[in-house]
Amino acid sequence: MSNVQTIVNEISAEVQATRVSEYPVSPLFLNRWSTRAFSTREVSDQDLYTVLDAAHWAPSSFNDQPWRFVVAKTEEQRSVFHQFINEFNLTWVSTAPVLIVVASDKLRDNGDPNGAHAFDAGAAWASMAIQATLLGMVTHAMGGIDRNKARQMLNIPDHFEIHAVIALGYHGDKSLLPEGVQQREVPNSRRPLNELVYEGRIE
């Protein structure tokens, strides 16, 4: 069985202890989790742009496609990103070979506010994460960034909202992480579905 078939058809041993779905969802969704252990192995442009291409096929209101991605894939580019990522995240993300700022345009092409821009950017990020998993890669979205500094350093216009930085790469050796971070390096679980879903109305 190929790696892709395994990801789609089999729950990995790594997640079996902490992730059990209540319904028969694809193992792909359980096998995707946000690691902090990244290898320094480089990501090819082919794979990077496959992930970005999947993100740009996400659904969006009026097909406005408000998401924007600023990519750092060289040492020089990553060093700029490292300047606006917070101290805790830098303890683990410094080995990730690709960093991607996800932003979205708050305005439609005609200048009207786009109330769905953040919702749509979330759909693009989810598509990115799933495609990366299918390619045998891992992702981790970080909100712990200095958005004002990122905006200034990356020349991001004021009408773009900055949501997160995505680390993209290959799973690394968790023993190389700081001790406190190692303890968190496990696939997390989810709340029971019945705590999140309401039929008809919220009671």
* Each residue's pLDDT tens digit, 147-180: 999 999 999 999 999 999 999 999 999 999 999 8
> Which fold would CATH assign to domain 33-173?
NADH Oxidase (3.40.109)
pLDDT at 1: 60
Percentage, residues of the chain above pLDDT 70: 100
pLDDT at 2: 73
pLDDT at 203: 84
HEC string of 95-152?
Answer: CCCEEEEEEEECECCCCCECCCHHHHHHHHHHHHHHHHHHCCCEEEEECCECHHHHHH
pLDDT at 6: 84
Predicted structure pTM score: 0.95
